[in-house]
Chain A
Amino acid sequence: MAYGFWDRILRVDLASGKIWEEQPGEAFFRSHVGGRSFIAHYLLKEVPVEVDPLSPDNRLIFMAGPVTGVPLPGAGRHSVGARSPLTGGFGESEAGGFWGAELKHVGYDGIIFQGRAERPVYLWLDERTVELRDASHLWGQRTGEVEAKLREDHGDRLVRVCQVGPAGENQVLYSCVINDLNEVAGRTGMGAVMGSKNLKAIAVRGKKNVPMADPARIREVAMWVARTMDENHYNFHHYGTGAAMVGKHLEGHLPVRNWQEGTMETVSLIDAKAIKEHYLEKMDGCYACSVRCKKRVRVEAMSVEPKYGGPEYETLGAIGTNTGVDDLLALCKANQALNWWGIDSVSTGATIAWAMECYQRGILTKQDTGGLALEWGDGQILNQLIDMIARREGIGDLLAEGALKAARKLGRDSEQYVVHVRGLEVAMHDPRAMEHMKTNYPVNPTGGDHTGGAHARTSIRNTIGVCQFLAYDEPTTLDILNAATGWGMAPEELDEVFRRGVTMARLFNMRCGFGRDDDRLPARFHEPLKHGPFADKPLTPEEVSRVVEEYYVAQGWDRATGTPTGETLERLGLAAYPTA
């Protein structure tokens, strides 16, 4: 008997309505494990270069890991992947909450969609039923209404809903797939792919326990997390993310005004401490997690409801400091809007910040914006732009393309102000001050994402289905995987899983036309920081080239081109994968 997974991948052809199952087998699971590694396998196998990301032939893949759904803090993670409509390359994003665990509790490890439904549909999944149902009545509805309606229809308040909001229906290129109303697979535009398939939601309800090889060890680790909460997870437990923004300000690398500045004197008006003092209703958690790092805010005067969560660091940085907005009420309202429309806060903020810089420089004028003054720090304009992007109205239609595509449409030499890697707007961590980001962004499979797809630690957690925030060291992480699966994996084998995953993503990106020249940082990060201890340490293109080449060599890729060598493909068991 297998442990940690069911060996059941659900396949759904939305065009024909055909539904079937695949059983890849234990050897396959052990080789790829789950998450983005699994996604890379299916994209390589089934999505050739000619497939447009928003065409029916793209795949939309939901994948848990072997630890997803076991009763352990941090075990609520799953990944969503497809060819990205935002970047044109490897698209993947992960989320927490309850939905991924619930999928495992139904008895599936993942779902792969293909085709496009004639009319809007949702997938209903419980232990007895797998069924595509009409979603016409849900189309156009915001996420909160959709979740409530599906729970009412199924007569169960514990139905877990993963969905696209209206922004995904409108194929905003950085729309997200959102579950439990405030957990988002935010990056790379997976919501636009789901919307393009006329797939509104996946509603799941299951009660099966995930089989574990060593439940006592899982319980022991869970108890350790609870027992050492203040020692290991104080910040997350009491504030969530965003409690140390003042530190970035002091050191001069806070993302401010499209990364033109690194400080914002008023940052303490909008950080997690301010949220806790003024608007926090409670901290909440994901499946089985005692850390409970998720904020839920309530602002009655602005009808901000706790069910949409509260702004976390990436959001506070992207739509806050990076657009110059220090109005916490406006940011709470914007956070709710992002979650009910279903748009990625990082790309939204970064794209608006790019537009504001263009306005600052006279590249965009009121003639282009329909009379809107895109001034830094205007929370009202910020909220207006978010609504316009979601509806693709006016200037929002241009901004819905993401910063790079918008700049290329606009022209006027505006592309130089786009802060992106491979078309993905960079997350809110400055590589000029953070070594970990300098070595991640240029080679990360999805581009400018901060969740560390290029690094072993973070990539392995994604693959096995464990949250990055948990203070598990590497031996404990491996221990957790082995306790769930019974594989008795050694560290070297898990390291090979990581290398196999990033190499498959590399092959897919190469298929999509990306190469050595795309593995770089945007021009803005070669400008010096102005204040603090990093101001006299410029990050040069030569330094980034060195980092990139070192990464290539470490992965067994050609130093000059980044192409995985034949020897590496052979060693990782990837020689048979199609490369075109």
Chain B
Amino acid sequence: MRVRVVPYAELRRLLPARHEELWLEVPEGATVGDALRILGLVTEERLIIGLDGRYATPDTPLHTDAELTLVTPMMGGTT
């Protein structure tokens, strides 16, 4: 099955130039964590994940045509 990946801000470096999103092929039964591994985003740094506009964790199961939002935290004026 395939899922749509929408990375925000610095994670847009994952994308080819001039693209807003990418489609990712994942095995049936895959989870968010599986998608992150395929994308090479298994990291110690905090990553905020949304699935179809709702908060998700690496354990959340994916489904066909799911929208996977990926954000790294950043703040204005502080660390």
Q: Which residues of A pack against B, CB within 8 Å?
A: 230, 234-235, 238-239, 241-244, 246-247, 250-252, 265, 272-273, 312-314, 427-429, 436-437, 440, 450-452, 457-458, 468-469, 531-533
Show 25 A/B contacts (Cβ-Cβ < 8 Å), sorted by A: A234-B10, A235-B10, A238-B9, A239-B9, A241-B75, A242-B76, A244-B9, A246-B8, A246-B71, A247-B72, A250-B49, A250-B69, A251-B48, A252-B55, A273-B8, A273-B9, A314-B76, A428-B76, A437-B78, A451-B78, A452-B78, A457-B79, A468-B78, A468-B79, A533-B55
C-alpha spacing A343/B72, complex, angstroms: 31
Q: Which residues of B pack against A, CB within 8 Å?
A: 8-10, 12-13, 48-50, 53-55, 69, 71-79
A-B CB proximity, top 4 nearest: A241-B76, A247-B71, A313-B76, A243-B9
Closest beta carbon of chain A to B75's beta carbon, Å: 6
Given pairs A235-B74, A273-B8, 14 additional interface contacts (CB within 8 A) = A235-B9, A235-B10, A241-B74, A241-B75, A241-B77, A247-B48, A247-B72, A247-B73, A250-B50, A313-B75, A314-B77, A427-B77, A450-B77, A451-B77
Q: Which of B13, B48, B72, B79 is the one whose CB lies under 8 Å from A250?
A: B48
- Given the interface pairs A235-B10, A273-B8, A468-B79, the reply to whether A243 lies near B74 with Cβ below 8 Å is yes
Closest beta carbon of chain A to B15's beta carbon, Å: 12
What is the total of A-B residue contacts with beta carbons within 8 Å? 82
Closest beta carbon of chain A to B33's beta carbon, Å: 16
Q: Which of A312, A436, A533 is the one whose CB lies under 8 Å from B76?
A: A312
Closest beta carbon of chain A to B74's beta carbon, Å: 5
Q: Are B55 and A531 in contact (CB under 8 A)?
A: yes
Q: Are B78 and A243 in contact (CB under 8 A)?
A: no
CB-defined contacts of A436 to chain B, threshold 8 Å: 78-79
CB-defined contacts of B73 to chain A, threshold 8 Å: 244, 247
C-alpha spacing A247/B53, complex, angstroms: 10
CB-defined contacts of A457 to chain B, threshold 8 Å: 79
CB-defined contacts of B13 to chain A, threshold 8 Å: 230, 234
CB-defined contacts of B77 to chain A, threshold 8 Å: 241, 313-314, 427, 450-451, 468-469
What is the chain A residue whose CB lies nearest that of B50? A250
- Given the interface pairs A234-B9, A239-B9, the reply to whether A429 lies near B78 with Cβ below 8 Å is yes
C-alpha spacing A428/B72, complex, angstroms: 17
Closest beta carbon of chain A to B48's beta carbon, Å: 4
Name which of A243, A247, A469 has the most chain B CB atoms within 10 A of its CB: A247
Name which of B49, B50, B79 has the most chain A CB atoms within 10 A of its CB: B79
C-alpha spacing A238/B7, complex, angstroms: 14
Name which of B49, B72, B75 has the most chain A CB atoms within 10 A of its CB: B75
Q: Are B71 and A244 in contact (CB under 8 A)?
A: yes
Closest beta carbon of chain A to B22's beta carbon, Å: 16
C-alpha spacing A428/B12, complex, angstroms: 25
